[in-house]
Amino acid sequence: MPAPTPTPSPRPSPHPTPARPVHYPAYHPASRPRPPRDSPSPLTFTLLIAAPAVFAVAALRPR
């Protein structure tokens, strides 16, 4: 039985294939997450905490 002939390797083409343009995704800067706030805003602190406390101290002071 004769030995099978090996398949010839594919020959490279003499001209390279033209390169296709590369499309990158649009650049969007990463949004920084806001740091968690452990305290109320200054307006909330003034209107809801400090003003009633000052009023209570003035109203409840001994006469």
Q: Please report which confidence band the pLDDT of residue 56 belongs to, taking 50, 70 and 90 as the band edges.
A: very high
Q: Please report which confidence band the pLDDT of residue 57 belongs to, taking 50, 70 and 90 as the band edges.
A: very high
Question: Is residue 49 predicted with pLDDT exceeding 90?
Answer: no
Of the chain, the percentage scoring pLDDT greater than 90 comes to 11
Instruction: Yes or no: say if 49 and 40 are a contact pair by the CB < 8 Å rule.
Output: yes
Torsion-angle region of 43 (φ positive above 0: left; ψ -120 to 50: alpha; else: beta):
alpha
